[in-house]
Amino acid sequence: MQWSLILLFLMAQCCFMDCQLYEFHYIKEEKTWTEAQQYCREKHTDLVTVTNMKDMKRLIKISDGDQSEAWIGLYNQTHGTRTWYWSLPGVEFNESETNWNPGEPNDGGSQGSQNCVIVNNNLKWKDTGCLNQHIFICYNETNTTHKYHLIREQKSWLEAQSYCRENHTDLISGTKQLLDGEVEKLINSNDLPYIGLFRDTWRWSDGSSFSFRHWNDDFNNHQPNSGQCAMTKFDGEGRWKNENCNIRKPFICYDDNIIASDKSLNVLSI
């Protein structure tokens, strides 16, 4: 079967975390998710793990104009333990630093599992359904004088995350950010804004714990049987969707050797 590899090198001056740039390989052979995982583990390191938006931009470029979809290394443990994550890449969730309202998280409500979090004006956390409409707080790492922005538009958690990533940096994430005195001044007594805390059962094939997710706006994790494997669509945004793992699609592998630093972007066909 004819296939091609496109090796994408992204070189930039950046912080240590962002410089973890691995080699990506776009494989145009169509395989099931499990077959793609086996191929990547035999010939490379594993199916690709996506750690942040810089990785996403690399994946979008790697298609070389292909408008198809490709498997990535994210899969859903249907009966697995739900794990809490912060939306902002690099911010680790620490169970000892939680600030739950008494009786929370209670995982109740008519919509079933409550996998997203809102805060009251005392900055106490409450779990809620991710499809519920709330205002939300964005974090902007480039604005040192006005880092936090309360957006008074009602959105689902996923829509709020997309808004913050497009217009600022991300949803506010981590206890350090939430305990900043600037944040409490933003919230009125009746406000219940979303923050960047969520939980899910999705895991990366290589066992890494990166929290980055880039789902499309239609993704609904309240339907666990709608697809247990994730793919990215080469449509300019690279949004992910969950799909039946037995569907045959191209896929993206990675090698865990770190690319040397440079300032240019090179695409090599092999």
CATH code, domain with 252? 3.10.100.10
pLDDT of 150 above 90 = yes
Whether residues 138 and 194 fall in one domain: yes
- Burial (0-12, 13-18, 19+ Cβ within 10 Å), 246: exposed
User: Using one digit for the tens of pLDDT, what is the confidence trace for 252-261?
Assistant: 999 987 764 4
Per-residue confidence (pLDDT) for residue 67, from 0 to 100: 67
- Are 139 and 148 within 8 A, CB to CB? yes
Distance in angstroms (rounded) separating the CA atoms of residues 232 and 246:
16
Per-residue pLDDT of 38-65, as tens digits, reads: 999 999 999 999 999 889 988 888 876 6
Q: Could you tell me if residue 88 is inside a domain?
A: yes
Check residue 257 and give its pLDDT: 76
Instruction: Assess whether 14 and 72 both reside in one domain.
Output: yes
Q: Are 67 and 99 part of one and the same domain?
A: no
Structural domain ending residue among the three candidates 152, 168, 200 = 200
How far apart are alpha carbons 240 and 158 in whole angstroms? 12
- How many domains is the chain built from? 2
User: pLDDT tens for residues 187-210?
Assistant: 998 999 999 999 999 999 999 989
Q: What is the pLDDT of residues 99-126, one digit of tens each?
A: 999 999 988 654 457 999 999 989 999 9
Q: What is the spatial distance between Cα 72 and Cα 65, in angstroms, rounded to a whole number?
A: 18
Tell whether the model's pLDDT for residue 270 goes beyond 80: no
- Reply yes or no on whether the pLDDT at 214 is more than 50: yes
| Global pTM value | 0.81
- 1 inside domain: no
Reported as a pLDDT band with limits 50, 70 and 90, residue 217 is: confident
| Residues spanned by the domain of 165 | 83-200
- Binned at pLDDT 50, 70 and 90, residue 228 comes out as very high
Residue 151 has pLDDT above 50, yes or no: yes
Whose tokens are 């940096």? That residue is 169
Q: What is the pLDDT of residue 112?
A: 56
Examine residue 27 and state whether it is found in any structural domain, yes or no.
Answer: yes
Residues in the chain: 270
* DSSP secondary structure string for all residues of 128-145: E-TTS-EEEEEE-TT-SS
Joined tokens for residue 18: 């962002």
**Mean pLDDT, to the nearest integer, of 226-246?**
89
**Could you say which of 168, 184, 200 is where a domain stops?**
200
Same domain, 90 and 162: yes
